[in-house]
Amino acid sequence: MSAPIKETPAAPAPRPVAPRPDRPEEQRGEGVVLNVFSHGFLALWALLIVLPLLWLVISSFKTDAQIGGSAFGWPHNWSLDVFHRAWNKGIGDYFLNTVIVLVFSVPLTMLFGSMAAYVLARYQFWGNRLLYYFFVAGAMFPVFLALVPLFFMVKRLDMLNTYQGLILVYIAYSMPFTVFFMHAFFRTLPTAVFEAAVLDGASHTRTFFQVMLPMAKPGLISVGIFNTLGQWNQFILPTVLMQPQSGGDPERYVLTQGLIQLQQQQGYASDLPVLFAGVTIAMIPMLVVYLSFQRQVQAGLTSATLK
């Protein structure tokens, strides 16, 4: 007779896992602590930036005696005469020279940089990545290492102390960052629009200027603001390239050079309110530009990540 078959005992049914109870009070408390910390840090950062600017503007309305007596006191007379004196002492000429340079350098930088970035982002050809990394490497190259050969190159072209020499150098100096920024932005634009324009018979030039470039407007505004700020505040390049030559053109200092020149002209007869007024004149246009396009700058910086 065969041995009886032993029945295998059934495995115990798994116990249901109890859901982890939510702790909304603790989560809400953690969120409040994080918000307080982040907002407090931002408020402290804003104070560190705003308070020196306010002190600079308020000090330009004082006299030397008031600044020496109480650096943090309020001026007794809110007169704009100090700005008039600063303008007549050369700030007006330096301001005009800076505007002339930037009127040509910033648009040309945006034009050439966006064209190069568009080709590198939308067309595949041999050496594409090599050329792109060449531009990226230019953004990491310290400008101090190129000052000596740059000086002799501009001098050989007979462009020292000229607007066109400084404009060309500004364009070359700002091209790497412009290409790097716009290359990432052009890659986020929809390919269907580009293909539709090509199928409709649009040329490469027309596709770029009438289709792709208007779609890249947020990125253009963002990188344009950064280029304007960088070129407006540039000091080392104009100091090397905008030195008046013997028997040549008169000095064409830009604002950053002009403020140093204004300080040196004072000598022992200190006139700090005029110097503060000159710095205020140099600072206000960039504040107006940034505050006017603040939303566009934020949209351009975040659009590449959100798309």
Domain ranges in the chain?
A: 90-306
Whole-model pTM?
Answer: 0.79
CA distance 189 to 215: 8
Statement: residue 50 has pLDDT above 60: yes
Q: Which residue has the tokens 């100096």?
A: 173
Torsion sign, CA atoms 89, 91, 97, 103: negative
Structure tokens at 239: 């100091």
Quick one: pLDDT at residue 249? 58
Mean pLDDT score across all residues of the chain: 81
Least confident of 111-120, 174-183, 197-206: 197-206
**Among 8-22, 207-221, 241-255, where is mean pLDDT lowest?**
8-22
Left (φ > 0), alpha (ψ -120 to 50) or beta: where does 203 sit?
beta
CATH of the domain spanning 90-306: 1.10.3720.10
Contact criterion met (CB below 8 Å) for 279 and 56: yes
End-to-end CA distance of the chain: 77
Residue 184 has pLDDT above 60, yes or no: yes
Band (pLDDT 50/70/90 cuts) for residue 31 is low
Residue 3, pLDDT above cutoff 60: no
Please state, in angstroms and rounded to a whole number, the distance separating the CA atoms of residues 282 and 294. Answer: 19
**Is the predicted pLDDT of residue 27 greater than 70, yes or no?**
no
260, amino acid identity: I
Is 14 a residue whose pLDDT tops 70?
A: no
pLDDT (0 to 100) of residue 307: 47
CA-based nearest residue to 230, from 121, 139, 298: 139
| HSE (side-chain half, CA atoms, 13 Å) at 59 | 23
DSSP 80: S
Confidence (pLDDT) at 19 = 54
**Residue 149 φ then ψ, to 5°:** -65, -30
